[in-house]
Structure 1
Amino acid sequence: MQKNAWMIRAGRGGIYSEDFEKGFAAVGWSQLGDLSQYSSTERLRDEYIKIYGNDKPSATANALAMILKFRDQIAAGDYIVSYNPETRSYLLGVDQGEYRYQPGTIGDYPNLRRVEWLGKVSRDQLPQQAKNSLGSTLTLFSLSQDTIEAFLTILEGRTLTPTAAEVAETDSAQLKDQTVAQSHELIKDKIAALLPEEMEELVAAILRAMGFNAKVSPKGPDRGVDVIASPDGLGLTQPRIKAEVKHRGGAMGAPAIRGFIGTLREGDSGLFVSTGGFSREARYEADRSTFPLTLVDLDDLADLIVSHYDNFDLEGRALVPLVRIYWPVD
């Protein structure tokens, strides 16, 4: 018997990924309370509109469909997938067949399902077709058997073989969202493939595109500073930005952040870039810094590139070549 498969996102930016790993998958809509109290779709729809409004009927319909799928359609034995964008890894597990309302377990996501996780798969290991199928921005959506087979093949150490593409019907708005999400992930793939030295040049290019004079520090003992930027290029005017760039080094912890803060002086603003992401302790350390300090992970880098690409110089465009895609206006 063929099992169904579902992607369930762990909050924006995968904020609840670590909580999911404890044996759960969860969704929000916390103001609805216990979803099992709604005996009919009509009751659920009326309460949803009462709480969240109905300015966009199509968005309301999508939300209700996801809520009902989470509560009723996912069944014991179904495959569950979730994604952590900081580590660029997917969790694959098996649903244990139980919806529960349990506030306080996973942030503001009180609606839970028990999941037995089978293992993790790096996005870089997946074939392109599987990457494309995982690009939707929806909180919950179904996955093809081909995609799950790719996950299982990798986890079991077998060799991947090409499969025929699955064509799904979708409306224009959903297709646009999916295309944007896929584009975002493909840009992250390009960034992840850069060498560490190229990553430093990319950060400098982004800062130049934002209007700063930025340059990579000379090779040698940089005392934790890889890129220096300021309005005048001399560091005599503020904001004076010092950036540390870590690539392919895994998630940065609190000691790395404390060490970088130690290089900052009065008038400095800090930028710490880590394509491997940051631990919770690292983010806490940054929040309590007495210097202005911003942490940038791989997702943030992709967003910055897209936002400022029109102003990229030739050096920046050579590192991450992109082409503009036009979409019809509704």
Structure 2
Amino acid sequence: MATMWMIRGDGGRLYDDFRERNLAAIGWAQLAPSAKLGVSRSALILAYKDAQPGIKDASAVSGASQVFRFVNEVKEGDAVVTYSPANRTYLVGQFAGPCLYRPELADEGMALVRAVKWLAQEVDRDQLSSVSKNSLGSTLTVFNVSEAAQKELLDLAAGNKIRARPVDPVGDSEVIDDPLKGVQDIAFERIKDQINSLDWSEMQDLVAGILRAMGYKTLVSPAGADRGKDIIASPDGFGFEPPRIVVEVKHRNARMGSSEIRSFLGGRHKDDRGLYVSTGGFTKDALYEGDRANVHLTLWTLDELARTLMAHYQMTDPETKRLVPLSYFYVPA
């Protein structure tokens, strides 16, 4: 089977740029001028240390190693995948060109670029087996995808069913400068998986529980026609005392577009505050629509929902904790 590489674009922020520009890229602008085909790993480590005096040896080795891989080990024709934490989707494609230094894109986090032919079908994270999810949880920017996860991703991106569930995880062999460095990110993805497994009614109750933990009283709409509101949150619980927060909860895989945002805003009073929760994320047009809204509007993806739950978890009531049971643990800062 051909090699598949995971390329994380600034933690997923560059997902849409990768798709729209038909490329995959990494940053490390301080190393990019030295990152020519055939450059040695040791030369990149020295360049990293020269550009960033005082950097820890392990961090220099880890960063230089990932640049080395992107420049020298990735080949035209290799498979590639990238991930959007906000949308919880994977984009699968094939490298279609050599590594190029693009100084004009350095400020965007894309100093080193390779052309990619992306497949049209995105892969929802929930469609993958637990073993594949775990193997894709590395926090490295560039790493080999396990054979089992590669099979699942390629099958799903082609519109096929998963042929077989893997039984043993396959780890990445790259050296990580700190084995605890990725624990928080991996745990966060697991928490999002847990939240996303809730059904729509439970998701609505979770959002209401978070708002109560933030000091509001809530009225939750019954199932059925809600006229653009699922929850009303306010200090008095009736919506008489400001702020009156009107909440819409959309728990589905698809991203919400500008038309859904306009529809939600159309029913709002000028003194309302809007909160639109979409676990499938939002399109760029929807984000633009939200930014220029006359009503104060906050958009929550699954990322924001999970982060807000974690920030207020200790204040949530037992019913909310039952929906998403979490435990605290400490690691060295």
Give the alignment's TM-score, normalised by structure 2: 0.85
1:53-98: CA deviation from partner (whole Å, max 9, x where unpaired)? 5454433332222122111221233321111234322122232351
1:160-213: CA deviation from partner (whole Å, max 9, x where unpaired)? 143333355787874434333332222222222222222211111111112222
Q: Partner residue of 1:212?
A: 216
The structural deviation recorded for 1:29 is: 2.6
Q: In structure 1, how many angstroms separate the alpha carbons of the residues matched to 2:140 and 2:111?
A: 18
- Note if contact 1:153-1:160 (Cα within 8 Å) is conserved in structure 2: no
The structural deviation recorded for 1:31 is: 5.0
SS in 1 for 2:117: strand
Aligned residue runs from structure 1 range 179-328, under 5 A: 179-219=183-223, 221-248=225-252, 250-324=254-328, 326-328=329-331
Counterpart residue identity of residue 261, structure 2: I
SS in 2 for 1:232: coil
- Note if contact 2:233-2:244 (Cα within 8 Å) is conserved in structure 1: yes
Counterpart residue identity of residue 61, structure 1: V
Q: 1:132 aligns with which of 130, 134, 139?
A: 134
Aligned-residue CA RMSD (Å): 3.0
The structural deviation recorded for 1:296 is: 0.5
Q: Which moved more, 1:192-201 or 1:114-123?
A: 114-123
Structure 1 residues 161 and 193, CA, compared in 2 at 3 Å: closer, same or farther? closer
Aligned residue runs from structure 1 range 48-59, under 5 A: 48-49=48-49, 51-52=51-52, 54-59=54-59
- Note if contact 1:54-1:60 (Cα within 8 Å) is conserved in structure 2: no
The structural deviation recorded for 1:130 is: 0.8
Q: Partner residue of 2:18?
A: 20
Where does the alignment leave 5 or more consecutive residues of structure 2 unmatched? none
**Is residue 329 of structure 1 aligned with residue 328 of structure 2?**
no
Structure 1 residues 264 and 198, CA, compared in 2 at 3 Å: closer, same or farther? same
The structural deviation recorded for 1:250 is: 1.5
Q: Which moved more, 1:96-105 or 1:196-205?
A: 96-105
1:265-310: CA deviation from partner (whole Å, max 9, x where unpaired)? 3432211100111110111111112332111011211222222222
Structure 1 residue ranges (4+ consecutive) displaced by more than 6 angstroms after TM superposition = 169-173
Structure 1 residues 135 and 240, CA, compared in 2 at 3 Å: closer, same or farther? same
Structure 1 residues 256 and 51, CA, compared in 2 at 3 Å: closer, same or farther? farther
Give the alignment's TM-score, normalised by structure 1: 0.85
Q: How many residue pairs get matched?
A: 327
SS in 2 for 1:30: coil
1:197-237: CA deviation from partner (whole Å, max 9, x where unpaired)? 22211111111112222231345553312111123323344
Structure 1 residues 20 and 199, CA, compared in 2 at 3 Å: closer, same or farther? same
Q: Partner residue of 1:90?
A: 90
Structure 1 residues 230 and 191, CA, compared in 2 at 3 Å: closer, same or farther? same
Q: In structure 2, how many angstroms separate the alpha carbons of the residues matched to 1:256 and 1:285?
A: 10
Q: Which moved more, 1:215-224 or 1:78-87?
A: 215-224
Q: In structure 1, how many angstroms separate the alpha carbons of the residues matched to 2:320 and 2:81?
A: 35
Q: In structure 2, how many angstroms separate the alpha carbons of the residues matched to 1:139 and 1:158?
A: 26
Q: Which moved more, 1:169-178 or 1:56-65?
A: 169-178
Q: Which moved more, 1:199-208 or 1:42-51?
A: 42-51
- Note if contact 1:251-1:276 (Cα within 8 Å) is conserved in structure 2: yes
Q: In structure 1, how many angstroms separate the alpha carbons of the residues matched to 2:269 and 2:53?
A: 49
The structural deviation recorded for 1:7 is: 0.9
Structure 1 residues 114 and 216, CA, compared in 2 at 3 Å: closer, same or farther? same
Identity over the aligned pairs, expressed in percent?
39
Where does the alignment leave 5 or more consecutive residues of structure 1 unmatched? none
Q: Partner residue of 1:76?
A: 76
The structural deviation recorded for 1:115 is: 2.2
The structural deviation recorded for 1:51 is: 4.7
Q: In structure 2, how many angstroms separate the alpha carbons of the residues matched to 1:186 and 1:41?
A: 33
SS in 1 for 2:168: coil
Structure 1 residues 174 and 57, CA, compared in 2 at 3 Å: closer, same or farther? same
- Note if contact 2:135-2:169 (Cα within 8 Å) is conserved in structure 1: no
Counterpart residue identity of residue 144, structure 2: S
Q: In structure 2, how many angstroms separate the alpha carbons of the residues matched to 1:312 and 1:97?
A: 51
